[in-house]
Amino acid sequence: MKNSLLKKQRKIQLKNKTILLGISGGVAAYKTVELARRLKDEGASVIVIMTDAARNFVTPLSLEVASQNKVHCSLFEDPMAHINLPASADLMVIAPATANIISKFANGIADDLLSTCLLSYSGKLIIAPSMNWKMYENRIFQSNLKKLVSLGIIQTGPEKGVLACGEEGIGRMSEIPDLIEIIRSTLSKKDLKEESIVVTAGPTREYLDPVRFISNRSSGKMGYALARAARNRGAKVTLISGPTALKTPDGLNFIRVETTDEMMIAVKKNTTNTTVLIMAAAVSDFGPAKRSEVKIAKAKITSLDLRQTTDIISEISRSAQRPFIIGFAAETGKNISRAVEKMKKKNMDMIVFNDVTEPGAGFEVDTNRVVIINRKKKNRLALMSKDAVADAILDSFIKTKT
């Protein structure tokens, strides 16, 4: 996969957004270098402010390289910075947020550049607290934190785990991918807030006996990306997932299933009041004709009788109050006409075609190259991240619907 092309496509997500990134003096400050770089990669303009204490943990030069912007550390170097920097920001993020900066802000204290910028800023603010668990659980600190959250400030983390001091407890800063996700979500346009969307993802398993099954290579990455993107854009989302190794996304209704029948039941139950069904799951097309309750002896299996599984899309598209249906066609080869036929035969509204044999497309990878097809036209997209493909599919849904 060509890195430069992927970078270019990722820019779609945070393009033209200015993020004011405040770094205060906690041990997790070094992680923020990676955060600045990732935000920059996604097309954001990143402006970093560091406290004096933060400079003990990471150098302004590292942040300057990562953000490709001047790093601001002093209240008095540029007399208008504390007003102008917040005024230019679409979003302010403090990561890590020390007990000190949180408590200062909760009490209106402005005694350095970062705390003064916080007071002159009135937009969306995300804080990522990170500290020793005893500091985090301190009652005075907790009341300061609660005050900020009650005023609409978005808190992410901290998480439980081994802390820098070697102790275990709550206090680890949110992981960088989780921070990126909440930043994307906070900055996303909310153009799907009228929609209630069911997304299926991952493979299904059809059991031969308690230990053996027929399945496929689906990782679930495309479906999870769609569920996250729809949630970020304001939709009410239910994610019905087959077995995957992926982290369950926050802020949506998550249903875990294993077999095609279980997925069918979950889809039927959850699509009664749904506006859109996105079938990104790779449902097993067939399974063993019989499921044994006990493990079958190896010597007894010489051949396998198969049965076809239920076709979930056809079942749902027949119902009277059917949602808008988006399906997927994973093919080996450029057989787009088969995808068009499948869309018509199963009465879908849109189908997303991908050739899983193409480099960077299909199973397990983080990228995809798809053709989005509706009843009127085909839109061929370049190789891009699955997150960017998800947004393109949702954009296409909005255009097709209206």
Ligand X SMILES: Cc1cc2nc3c(=O)[nH]c(=O)nc-3n(C[C@H](O)[C@H](O)[C@H](O)COP(=O)(O)O)c2cc1C
Q: Catalogue the active-site residues.
A: 165
Among 13, 67, 100, 274, binds ligand X (CB under 6 A): 100
Q: How many residues does the chain have?
A: 402
25 versus 242: smaller Cβ distance to ligand X? 25
Question: Least distance to ligand X from the beta carbon of 118, Å?
Answer: 11
171 versus 327: smaller Cβ distance to ligand X? 171
Short-list 294, 54, 225, CA closest to 21: 54
Question: Least distance to ligand X from the beta carbon of 12, Å?
Answer: 34
129 versus 287: smaller Cβ distance to ligand X? 129
Question: Least distance to ligand X from the beta carbon of 132, Å?
Answer: 7
14 versus 125: smaller Cβ distance to ligand X? 125
Question: Least distance to ligand X from the beta carbon of 165, Å?
Answer: 8
By CB under 6 A, how many residues form the interface with ligand X? 14
Question: Least distance to ligand X from the beta carbon of 68, Å?
Answer: 23
134 versus 399: smaller Cβ distance to ligand X? 134
- Which 112-131 positions form the footprint of ligand X (CB under 6 A)? 130-131
With beta carbons less than 8 A apart as the criterion, state whether 209 and 291 touch: yes
Question: Least distance to ligand X from the beta carbon of 100, Å?
Answer: 3
At 381, list the tokens. 């997209």
Among 21, 54, 63, 183, binds ligand X (CB under 6 A): 54
Write phi, then psi, for 62 (nearest 5 degrees): -60, -40
Look at the block and give the residue holding tokens 């910028």. Answer: 117
Among 9, 98, 186, 218, binds ligand X (CB under 6 A): 98
Among 20, 39, 99, 113, binds ligand X (CB under 6 A): 99
103 counts as binding ligand X under rule CB under 6 A: no
Short-list 192, 190, 189, CA closest to 324: 192
40 versus 104: smaller Cβ distance to ligand X? 104
93 counts as binding ligand X under rule CB under 6 A: no
Among 21, 27, 128, 313, binds ligand X (CB under 6 A): 27
Burial (CB count <10 Å: 0-12, 13-18, 19+), residue 127:
buried
CA angle 21, 248, 363 (to 5 degrees): 100
Judged by CB under 6 A, the stretch of 25-33, 186-194, 338-346, 392-400 that binds ligand X is 25-33
Q: Write out the residues near ligand X by the rule CB under 6 A.
A: 24-27, 51, 53-54, 98-101, 130-131, 135
